Chains A and B, each alone.
Chain A
Amino acid sequence: MSATLPPPAVRRGPRLLGILSSTDHKHLGLLVCGGAFVFFCLGGLLALLMRSELAAPELQVMSLNAYNQVFTIHGSTMFYLFGAPMALGFGLYLVPLQIGASGLRWPRLVLLGFWLFLGAGLLMYAGFLTQEGAGRAGWFAFDPLSDDVGTPGTGMDLWVISVFLSVLAGMLWAASILATIIRHRAPGMTMLRLPVFTWSMVVSSLMTLVAFPALLLAMGLLFIERHGLDVFTQPGGAIFYQHLFWFFGHPVVYIVFFPFLAAGSEAIATSAGQRFFGYKLFVGSLLAFAALSVSVWGHHMFVTSSVDNRFFSLTTTAIIVVAGVEYFDNLATMFRGRIKLRASFLFACGFMIVFLIGGLSGIWVASPPLDYNAHDTYSVVAHFHYTLFGGTVFGMFAGIYHWFPKVTGRLLDERLGRWHFWLMLLGGLVTFIPQFFVGEQGMVRRIADYPETAGWTALNALSTVGAFIILLSLLIFLANLIRSLRLGKPSGPDPWDGHTLEWATSSPPPRYNFPAVPPVRSYAPLLDLKEEAAEDESSHRPVASGEGGSQ
């Protein structure tokens, strides 16, 4: 660095106001991740309400209309307010640290995005306070169900605005992350020396910038339609809406998946004490995976008879190849490693197991004849919850346990972390496996009630028990979080013997991250330095008597 100036004097308000208007990427990342986690908890509570309603036949907890609102806001929260924001929030915090940068490019855009995201969340939930209730046309809001005749009321309008704002926020964050990676890398940090997590942010940001505008357009047109102009009610309009929606709706799953896959990969490499296996192959497969996942959206429309099913079936099935490369890279990284069974490692393994169930069940819905049978049943609900619960929640916790010491300077309690993991794994399996079976038996999605004679009661009750086990695991995590923030052991800068640059600075990092950036000679620069230091030490060690060989 040629010169580092103190920033221009700005009148400081109270600390909270300072953080809420901060341009420091660490504050911004924490704001986005913190906001997303709060919405995750709210979305989880809505899920528990739904599971409570479905635990037994007959309506017990809420009305049919309320159920429609609850499942709509649950899905919308998890996609628009939790999954994508949490993944990009990880990137906002970690990418500058991993590439040796002092901050993000365009930090004001990121701050603007945070306020749009916060507004989006508040508006979506404000819908519950309106006369007709919150949005209730599903997280996809297909037209004509979502137009002013199908779903009248201010709550649905607020939902449309909310989705528009959250998508816009995501685009601002992705643009900033991508520009930071392109323009702000430390000397020596070439593109093929980026850590795997940063690579995942490259592809997620690219996908965000390509896929999100489609939903932005869809929400803009839907809003116009709800206020009097015919847009989607023209012939072919409903299919046009579905194209726009799914062109966003499928890539967003991978926009969330890639960063958490890579978070798990970083946790695995560090816990195994090994260099990440097959780095270049992994990077290539990420790019190919991203290209394919932008090309598969039509598989959600197999039953509409308006897309070429053969093409979308082919691209969807081809994803197995690139996903396999990433799985085997992770397994090979563990091979012959000195694995430490930390909570972050357990969650990374949980991620791979749970997502594998989601991925394998995705193969048969990639086949149109099988999809015709499974479409809109609980089997599909189980499939995408395995991909999203595995791909998002387990990966997120792998990342949280891995990077919490860097962010706070304190360690999370490992014993509580292990309880958290095992209960969450158990809860995840008990909740969603029964849904494959009730789906196979004909239970369709988005119903608040079912007849006692259907024979689905036991499986639904089991699924509800699983949901409450997940709640218990989350309560343990929250207790761990609160306890560790106050009483956790100080972590020091590098508690895990990390491989990447973020572990070269203090915990938490200072305002501009690095007093001096270490030399970068590979995608694991800190590991290089440690190996060099170990070699130097061994070459300078005096030869003990009886030791063979020359130095």
Chain B
Amino acid sequence: MSRGWVVMLAWALMLGVVWVVQWAIFDPDLIAFVLLGSASATTALMALWALLAGRRRDAPADEGIEATPDASHATVLLGITVLLLVLAPVLGGWLAFTAAGTGLLAVGGLVRERSSERRAVRAAREGGA
């Protein structure tokens, strides 16, 4: 099992120690107190994610199956959609409508890529069995 979570937890504890020192010895303002504490808590949560993810070994790549397509045009379209969306409040609401169109295409493309990946993984597993 991957021990990456231990590193994250160790780092969360280091941040926690600094946070406790700040709180116990010094006189932090509320924002500094919350920021440092939330950094430690966020890292601890990431460690928990890594621990749980390490126990779940169902990703194709974990079995040595490479199924991701070489190129993902749908992801490019998704990127352009995000750009159009964030620009809409500045350059005009019409960009949001364009983004809706490109977003639909992007999501459709991603769904198609994922189903293609799943088929490939299934075929590899059946072939390997």
Binds B, one of A76-84, A289-297, A358-366, A441-449: A289-297
Cβ-defined partner of B86 (8 Å) among A165, A202, A298: A165
B68 to chain A: which residues have CB within 8 Å?
7, 23, 103, 107-108
Q: Are B86 and A247 in contact (CB under 8 A)?
A: no
Least CB distance, B123 to chain A, in whole angstroms: 7
Asked if B29 contacts A3 (CB within 8 A), the reply is no
Cβ-based interface call for A506 (8 A): no
Bound-complex Cα distance A86 to B50 (A):
26
Closest chain A residue to B36, Cβ basis: A295
Task: Note all chain A residues with C-beta closer than 8 A to B128.
Answer: 2-3
* Interface 0/1 of A16-30, CB less than 8 Å to B: 011011111000000
| Contact present for A247 and B35 (CB under 8 Å) | yes
A17: which B residues are within 8 A, CB to CB?
71
Q: How far is the CB of A134 from chain B (nearest CB, A)?
A: 14
Q: Chain B residues near A115 (CB, 8 Å)?
A: 75-76, 79-80, 82-83
What is the bound-complex CA distance between A209 and B43, given in angstroms? 9
Q: State which of A63-71, A183-191, A323-331, A426-434 sits at the interface with chain B.
A: A183-191
- Check: A150 CB closer than 8 A to any chain B CB: no
The residue from A8, A311, A511 contacting B26, defined by CB atoms under 8 A apart: A311
A306 within 8 A of B: yes
Q: B63's contact among A2, A108, A190, A294, by CB below 8 Å, is which? A: A2
Secondary structure class of chain A's binding surface, majority of residues: helix
For the complex, count residues of A whose C-beta is within 8 A of B.
75
Question: Which of chain B's residues have a CB closer than 8 A to the CB of A41?
Answer: none
Query: At the interface, yes or no: A181 with Cβ under 8 Å from chain B?
Result: yes
Check A116–B61 contact: CB distance below 8 A. no
C-beta contact mask, A138-182 vs B, less than 8 Å → 1, else 0? 000000000000000010011001001100000000000011011
Please state if A108 and B53 are interface contacts (CB–CB under 8 Å): no
Q: A307 touching B15 by the CB < 8 A rule?
A: no
Determine whether the beta carbon of B79 is less than 8 Å from that of A307.
no
The reply to whether A243 and B31 contact each other, CB–CB distance below 8 Å, is yes
Asked if A377 lies at the interface with its beta carbon under 8 angstroms from chain B, I say no
Does B70 lie within 8 Å of A315, measured CB to CB? Answer: no
Across the interface, do B54 and A182 meet the contact criterion of CB distance under 8 Å?
Answer: yes
- Which residue on chain A has the smallest CB distance to residue B62? A183
CB pair B14–A183 under 8 Å, yes or no, is no
Please give the distance in Å from B58's CB to the nearest CB on chain A: 12
Knowing A112-B79, A291-B11 are in contact, say whether A243-B54 is a contact too (CB < 8 A). Answer: no
Inter-chain CA distance A244–B46, complex, in Å, is 21
List of B residues within 8 angstroms of A202 by Cβ: 7
A-facing residues in B92-115 (Cβ within 8 Å) = 110, 113
**Selected contact of A310 from candidates B26, B62, B120, CB within 8 Å:** B26
Given A164-B86, A287-B7, are A295 and B15 neighbors across the interface (CB < 8 Å)?
yes
B17 surroundings in chain A (CB, below 8 A): 291
The answer to the question of A1 belonging to the interface, with a C-beta cut-off of 8 Å to chain B, is yes
**How far is B121's CA from A3's CA once the two chains are assembled, in angstroms?**
10
Q: Are A183's CB and B83's CB within 8 A? A: no
A430 to B90 Cα, complex, angstroms: 43
Q: Judge whether A1 and B64 touch: CB under 8 Å.
A: yes
A4, A119, A185, A298: the one contacting B66 at CB < 8 Å is A4
Q: Are A22 and B83 in contact, CB atoms less than 8 angstroms apart?
A: no
CB distance from B10 to the nearest CB of A (A): 6
Q: Are B32 and A307 in contact (CB under 8 A)?
A: yes
Q: Can you list 29 A-B contacts with CB-CB less than 8 angstroms, sorted by A residue number?
A: A2-B64, A3-B124, A5-B65, A21-B76, A22-B71, A23-B68, A24-B70, A102-B61, A108-B72, A112-B75, A115-B75, A116-B82, A154-B90, A165-B86, A183-B61, A183-B62, A203-B11, A206-B11, A209-B42, A211-B39, A223-B89, A239-B31, A243-B35, A247-B35, A287-B11, A290-B11, A291-B14, A291-B15, A291-B17
Closest A-B pairs by Cβ, 8 of them? A115-B79, A1-B64, A182-B4, A291-B14, A311-B26, A119-B83, A8-B116, A21-B71
Given contacts A5-B123, A116-B83, A206-B46, 19 further A-B contacts (CB under 8 A): A5-B121, A7-B70, A18-B70, A21-B76, A119-B82, A123-B83, A182-B50, A183-B54, A183-B61, A210-B43, A214-B35, A243-B31, A243-B32, A287-B7, A288-B14, A291-B15, A291-B17, A295-B15, A310-B26
